[in-house]
């Protein structure tokens, strides 16, 4: 049976707000030749990604069990007691400076820095280009090369030589003045490293954002895989059972 006569003809509808025009696009500054229809080009990608993620997650969930320790017991302190991994960078900082500085002031400044990035970099001629330029790529690499050894060195220094063993009184010196001084010097040093490139605003931001990201990962990794009993430095294979906080 033909159903044609019962179904309203789409074409008769004359009140659409959007009219479909041949070969055109509403996008500003973009010719139609730069666009493709979302169906199928975009939706195929999205469907594939969804399938891929579901498959990965299913495989992971079959293979690895989520941890479940003994029931919570306020009288039995875990050693080491670790925050979830994405906060372990803060917990690592906590070991090296006054807790208000490490736990609240530094992350607040980082968030303010992140939010202000688009208002500092007002030039959009290089929008959409990975790392801004060839120079930007070099700056990313150099910022990483600069940050990694210095951070690892500082962590080792504070474990084996210890700032507080050198000077512990008054608290304001090891808790505030030295760490702020070190962070300030690290930031100035980063600028000194990239200055020879004569960076523009975006490239300076690339250096500092890279410094932030590398620091985030180094501190997270150090605190997750290298901190054992009493949050002392340990090698990953010597970690006490259950020291991983996933």
Stretch 114-133 residues interacting with other proteins (CB under 8 A):
114-115, 117-119, 121-132
Sorted by sequence, the CB contacts under 8 Å of residue 96 that are 6+ apart come out as 102, 154, 155, 158, 163, 179
**Does 10 help bind other proteins (rule: CB under 8 A)?**
yes
Q: What is the total residue count of the chain?
A: 246
Q: How far is the CB of 237 from other proteins (least distance, A)?
A: 20
Answer for which of 12, 14, 15, 34 binds other proteins (CB under 8 A) is 34
Task: Indicate the residue among 22 and 160 with the shorter CB distance to other proteins.
Answer: 22
d(CA 88, CA 135): 33
Sorted by sequence, the CB contacts under 8 Å of residue 74 that are 6+ apart come out as none
Of residues 166-225, which lie at the interface with other proteins (CB under 8 A)? 202, 206, 209, 213
**Does 75 help bind other proteins (rule: CB under 8 A)?**
no
d(CA 85, CA 64): 17
Q: Please answer whether residues 80 and 230 qualify as being in contact, where contact means their C-beta atoms are separated by less than 8 angstroms.
A: yes
Q: Which of 208, 214, 163 is nearest to 189 (CA)?
A: 208
Of residues 141-160, which lie at the interface with other proteins (CB under 8 A)? none
**Does 111 help bind other proteins (rule: CB under 8 A)?**
yes
Q: Please answer whether residues 208 and 190 qualify as being in contact, where contact means their C-beta atoms are separated by less than 8 angstroms.
A: yes
**Does 230 help bind other proteins (rule: CB under 8 A)?**
no
Token pair of 238 as six digits: 């010597």
According to DSSP, the residues that pair with 227 across neighbouring strands are 233
Answer for which of 12, 69, 235, 241 binds other proteins (CB under 8 A) is 69
**Does 49 help bind other proteins (rule: CB under 8 A)?**
yes
Q: Could you tell me how many residues of this chain bind other proteins (CB under 8 A)?
A: 93
57: three-class secondary structure by DSSP: helix
Which window, 33-41, 158-166, 176-184, 191-199, contacts other proteins (CB under 8 A)? 33-41
Task: Indicate the residue among 89 and 155 with the shorter CB distance to other proteins.
Answer: 89
Of residues 76-105, which lie at the interface with other proteins (CB under 8 A)? 76-78, 81-87, 90-91, 94, 99-100, 102-105
d(CA 233, CA 191): 30
**Does 227 help bind other proteins (rule: CB under 8 A)?**
no
């Amino acid at each position: 049976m033909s159903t044609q006569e019962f179904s309203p003809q789409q074409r008769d509808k004359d009140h659409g707000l959007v009219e479909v025009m041949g070969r055109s696009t509403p996008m500003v500054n973009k010719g139609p030749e730069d666009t493709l229809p979302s169906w199928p080009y975009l939706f195929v990608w999205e469907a594939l990604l969804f399938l891929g993620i579901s498959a990965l997650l299913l495989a992971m969930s079959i293979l690895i069990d989520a941890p479940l320790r003994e029931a919570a017991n306020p009288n039995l302190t875990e050693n080491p007691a670790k925050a979830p991994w994405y906060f372990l960078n803060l917990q690592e900082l906590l070991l090296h400076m006054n807790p208000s500085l490490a736990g609240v002031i530094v992350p607040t400044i980082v968030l303010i820095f992140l939010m202000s990035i688009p208002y500092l970099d007002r030039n959009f001629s290089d929008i959409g280009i990975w790392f801004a330029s060839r120079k930007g790529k070099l700056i990313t690499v150099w910022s990483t090369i600069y940050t990694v050894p210095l951070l690892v060195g500082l962590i080792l220094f504070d474990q084996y030589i210890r700032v507080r063993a050198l000077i512990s009184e008054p608290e304001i010196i090891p808790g505030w003045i030295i760490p702020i001084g070190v962070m300030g010097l690290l930031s100035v040093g980063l600028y000194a490293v990239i200055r020879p490139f004569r960076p523009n605003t975006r490239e300076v931001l690339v250096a500092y954002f890279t410094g932030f990201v590398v620091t985030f990962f180094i501190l997270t990794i150090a605190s997750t895989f290298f901190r054992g009993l009493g949050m002392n430095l340990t090698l990953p294979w010597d970690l006490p059972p259950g020291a991983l906080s996933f």
